[in-house]
Amino acid sequence: MDSELDGLQTKRNEMGYYLRVHSVQDYSYNKIAEYHTEVVQQMDSLRRMIKVLDSLSTSSAQLRIRQQNRYAIQTSSKKAKPTVCNRLEIDKKNDCVLLQTESKRTPIRLITRLQKTGAIDALNTYYKTHAATISSLAKGIRIVGGRYEGESQKNVPNGYGKYYGDDGSFYDGHWKDGKRDGFGIYVAPHEYLQVGEWKADVFKGERLTYTPDRIYGIDLSRHQHEKNNKVYHIYWNKLRITDLGTLSTKTIKGKVDYPVSFAYVKSTEGCTVLNTYYEADYKAARAHGIRTGTYHFFSTMSPGAAQAAYFLKCSKFNKGDLPPVLDVEPTDAQIVAMGGAEVMFRNIRAWMNLVQKRTGKRPILYISQTFANTYMPLAPDLGDNYHIWIARYGEYKPNFKLAYWQLSPDGKVRGIHGDVDINVFNGYRNQYEEFLKRHCF
C-alpha cells in the first residue's frame, strides 16, 4: 500500500506541475484537473485504509476478509433484465458451481449444465454481439496490460476512450486500431506526464497555442548587430515581436504583435571571448523596462570553474535581473574530444556551482532537445536541481520541465535587423510573476 501511495503521489505531482504552468484555456486543462481530483481521492481513501490497518496492528482486534460473488443470468435480448441467482454449492472436484434463481424457477431455453470452456466461449460470444448491437461504447475491454473503456470496433479501441493500466498508468484520449493516436494524456507512477499528440502509440509532444496572454522574450548576441560586414543598431523603443518564425507549423490565435517581456544578452564565451555589445544592450534593455538576464556560452576547451570566473568578472547582476544562464551547445565530437560526457558534466557543474555561490542565484541551464534526450539522462541531478531552458524548433513543446522554451531561431522583431531567437516562458502571467519574485536578483 505504501508503494501504491508513493506511485499516486508522483502522478499527483506531475499533474500539479502541469496545472501550475497551464490555464483553463489550454485544451487538456480540464481533463487533467478532473483526473487530478480522482487521484487525490484515491490517495485519501488509501491513507484511511492504511490508518485502519495500522491501528489494527496495535490492538487485539482481528481483521477478516470476505469474498463476495454475485451471479446473474443475462439473455441476448436487449430488453431482458438480468435474473439474479444464488450460489448453493461449489463443486471443486468437477470445477463448477451450483446456482439457483431467486424464484427457484429455471428460465426457458436455459442450458442448465455448462462446462468451464463452454461457459467462457458463451460469455465471449455474448459480449461481442452485445457490444456490437447495443452500443459502440464497449465498457471494460481487456487489452495488453490493462482495461479499456470507450469507443471500439470489433473489440479493438478506435475513437475516444480511457485506458486503466494494471501498473497504475492512465491514458485519456484518442485511439486508432488499438493504438494511441491523436490527442491524449498519459500519466503513470514514477513517469513524466505526457500531454499532446500521439502517433501509432508514440508520444510526439504538446502543441502550444500562441496568444497575447503568453510571456515572450528574446536572446541577443553580436549576431543581431553584425551581418555581411555591416553593423546594425537595435531600436529599443520600437521592439515588438511580429513573427514567430517559419521552421515549424504553429497554432496562433490572433495577430502576432507581442511585447518583449524579457531579454537575455550574451556576455562571455569560454575564458577569452567578450561580446562587445553586451554592456550597451544590457543597459538599454533595462532602461526600457525589459526584464534582463545575462548568459555565458560554454566552451569544451576551458575548465568550467575558470569560465565561471571570467563570466562573473565581465557580467552585471543588478536588482530585478533574471537568473544567469549557461548556454551548452557542444557537438558530439567536441564532447568526445574533451573526455566524454562525464568530464563535460563535471565542468558544467563546476560553472553552475561557482556562479550560484557568488551570485546567490541558481543559474538556468540552456540546452537543445537533442542534448536533453541524449545526455541529460546521464546527469539527472542537473534536471532536478536547476531550471532548464530548451531550444526545440519543431511544432511540439519540449517534453521536459522547463523555465523557457526557445521555439524559433528565425523570428522577427520590429527594431532589430534580421532573424531573432524567440522564447516563451513556461506558464502564464501569474506563474511568471511568481518566478520573478522567487528567482530574480
In the chain, domain spans:
1-48, 83-124, 141-204, 216-439
Read off the pLDDT of residues 238-254 as tens digits, 9 standing for 90 and up: 999 999 999 888 889 99
Give percent above pLDDT 70 in the chain. Answer: 92
What pLDDT, on the 0 to 100 scale, is given for residue 1? 82
Q: How far apart are CA 147 and CA 164, in angstroms?
A: 5
pLDDT band at 125 (very low <50, low <70, confident <90, very high): low
Q: Count Cα atoms within 13 angstroms, Cβ side, for 216.
A: 25
Least confident of 39-53, 120-134, 259-273, 402-416: 120-134
What pLDDT, on the 0 to 100 scale, is given for residue 74? 74
What pLDDT, on the 0 to 100 scale, is given for residue 306? 98
164 and 146 in contact (C-beta within 8 Å)? yes
> What CATH fold (topology level) applies to the domain 141-204?
2.20.110
Closest CA relative to residue 25, chosen from 439, 317, 428: 428
pLDDT at 130 over 70: no
CATH superfamily, domain at 216-439: Glycosidases (3.20.20.80)
The set of cell numbers assigned to 391 is 531550444
pLDDT at 165 over 80: yes
Which distant-in-sequence residues (6+ apart) come within 8 Å of 309 by Cβ?
A: 354
Mean pLDDT of 251-263: 96
pLDDT band at 136 (very low <50, low <70, confident <90, very high): very low
Read off the pLDDT of residues 318-333 as tens digits, 9 standing for 90 and up: 999 999 999 999 999 9
The set of cell numbers assigned to 93 is 472436484
What pLDDT, on the 0 to 100 scale, is given for residue 116? 65
pLDDT at 23 over 50: yes
Mean pLDDT of 269-288: 98
Q: How far apart are CA 257 and CA 183, in angstroms?
A: 29
Least confident of 206-220, 291-305, 340-354: 206-220
pLDDT at 131 over 60: no
Q: How far apart are CA 263 and CA 297, in angstroms?
A: 16
In whole angstroms, how large is the CA radius of gyration of the chain?
30
Strands 262-269 and 291-297: parallel
pLDDT at 129 over 80: no
Mean pLDDT of 378-405: 89
Read off the pLDDT of residues 48-79 as tens digits, 9 standing for 90 and up: 988 888 887 777 767 777 778 888 887 766 67
Helices (H) and strands (E) in the chain, counts: 10, 24
The set of cell numbers assigned to 432 is 511568471
236 and 415 in contact (C-beta within 8 Å)? yes
pLDDT at 314 over 60: yes
Eight-state DSSP code of residue 360: S
- Find cell 565542468 and name the residue: 347
Q: How many CB atoms lie within 10 A of CB 327?
A: 19
Q: How many CB atoms lie within 10 A of CB 135?
A: 11
Q: Where are the alpha helices (DSSP H) in 135-191?
A: none
The set of cell numbers assigned to 209 is 497555442
Read off the pLDDT of residues 73-122 as tens digits, 9 standing for 90 and up: 877 666 778 888 998 888 888 778 888 888 888 887 776 676 666 666 76
Which distant-in-sequence residues (6+ apart) come within 8 Å of 67 by Cβ?
A: none
What pLDDT, on the 0 to 100 scale, is given for residue 163? 95
The pTM score is 0.75
Q: How far apart are CA 41 and CA 270, in angstroms?
A: 52
The set of cell numbers assigned to 393 is 524548433
Phi/psi for 140 (5° steps) reads: 70, 40
Which distant-in-sequence residues (6+ apart) come within 8 Å of 257 by Cβ?
A: 212, 240, 241, 242
Helix (H) or strand (E) holding 306: helix 304-314
- Find cell 563546476 and name the residue: 350
What pLDDT, on the 0 to 100 scale, is given for residue 95? 76
pLDDT at 135 over 50: no
Q: Kindly list the distances between the CA atom of residue 163 and the CA atoms of 30, 110, 122, 191, in Å, as whole numbers in the listed order.
A: 18, 35, 26, 16
pLDDT at 219 over 60: yes
Q: How far apart are CA 130 and CA 66, in angstroms?
A: 32
Q: Count Cα atoms within 13 angstroms, Cβ side, for 186.
A: 25
pLDDT band at 154 (very low <50, low <70, confident <90, very high): confident
Phi/psi for 266 (5° steps) reads: -70, 130
Mean pLDDT of 192-208: 92
Give percent above pLDDT 90 in the chain. Answer: 68
Write down the mean pLDDT value for the chain.
90
Which distant-in-sequence residues (6+ apart) come within 8 Å of 435 by Cβ?
A: 403, 425, 427
